[in-house]
Structure 1
Amino acid sequence: MRQLDRMENQYTKPLVLICSGNANFYVLLAHILASEGFQTLLLGEEEVVDQAALRPITAIILDSAQDPELTVRTCAAIKANEITSRIPTIALISSGNERYYLALLKAGIDENFVRPVSPARLLAYLGSLPHNGADDKQPTDPAREETAAIFGALRIEPGRRLVRYGDEGAQFGRIEFNLLRCLLEAPGRVRSRLELIEAAWPSNRYVQPRTVDVHVARLRRELERLTGRPLIRTIRATGYAIDIDDGAD
């Protein structure tokens, strides 16, 4: 019975996958995360996608200290996989390698931290995430209680961060979905980058305007893939607006 209890506890703890070539760094990071109730697993970049697809994962941490370009490729592989694409993925960038920041954003990274990262900042970010897919299972999640909304031909389902257009649908990451909701609050109205930052990111986080541009570009591409037309307009030196059509073709 005790063995069964231990096995159950192992699979109910929030699990964080860590890709790092530095075993000592992993041991330190694993200890920090364990102190806050997280379970960790050390993996190589070549196996992280396969392993992440096997079980519920809270987050994936990619340590880029040894090979930043490999980290970019690994992030792109995670985000290109249908099963793992929605797992929050964090890159730890060594000081001096900040030039990889935009490359990681374009690859789909959800968050970047420059090493040495404050444990409190990392834990605060991880603590804000749904644990092991819990947001898809907990009926008491406030977002679950929000009803679907219709904007022209778009149907928005907040609980699943799902957008439907006719018979097609697309699920969005948390930041992109928050950006979309902000734009949809007033279709046609121009939203400044500051407004979008306030709507999509936690208040205690510094976000560069270029970061907003990358996430909006990602949102625009996915909406265009879904609807077959560009919905988001760029207003130079100002911000962005969304135009909603009346119906699907």
Structure 2
Amino acid sequence: MERIALVTGGSRGIGRAIAERLAADGLTVVLTYAGNEAAARDVVEGIEGKGGRARAVRAEFGGHGDAAALWAAYDGLGLGPVDVLVNNAGIGLPVPLGKVTEEEFDHVFAVNVRAPFFVVQEGLGRLRDGGRVINISSGAARIAMPEILAYGSTKGALDNLTLNLAKALGPRGITVNSVAPGIVDTDVNAGWLRGNAEAEAHAASLAALGRVGRPEDIADVVGFLASDAGRWVTGRVVDATGGAGL
């Protein structure tokens, strides 16, 4: 039986690593991208070049009806039920308390919380019993970081969504978990991290394991939760920060 994974925001960074890991594990991967079709195509071609199966669909989040549009695009591919849903797409908001606008606040919650909520709701009839829902959270949900508190608040809300979805979907055998990365070397962080020895050393010092995270570190945790080995874990936040804030 073909197993299918849907990974939102799978064209770069952590999402790309997750898509590649799940494809390597034998799943057919459908990844979404917001605007960079070339990046998405590159991921698909890379997976197919290694003998895997992948498709890409365009999906933007933050507006009403976005989740329904995503599933309509998925249905258009003619594939079967989804075994693994990874809610990875999200945005940051590096703005301190005194400068966050109402519009910025609404938008970051719309993308990071409302979208996963309705992606699951709209997908209830498309998720296979015994499947997996994996939400990509953040260490910022448990570590006080006032400079990004609106973003951290969205991830705290996402973790609560995970808890409740695990209870709601448990009777169908569907596990629901959050994976919480710390600082990861991705394009999002490249501007202040890469090529800046002082910034990298500081970021590494925040983790008990003494280095900056890599996308593959997060993807491997997702791979475990998506596998049969993760069948008895649900409603949990799996910390993948390398021990930040201990």
Query: For this structure pair, what is the TM-score category when the shorter chain's length is used for normalisation?
Result: 0.3 to 0.5
Q: TM-score, normalised by structure 2?
A: 0.40
Greater relative contact order (Cα 8 A, min sep 6): structure 1 or 2? 2
More helix by share: 2
Query: Which of 1 and 2 has greater Rg?
Result: 1
Q: TM-score, normalised by structure 1?
A: 0.40
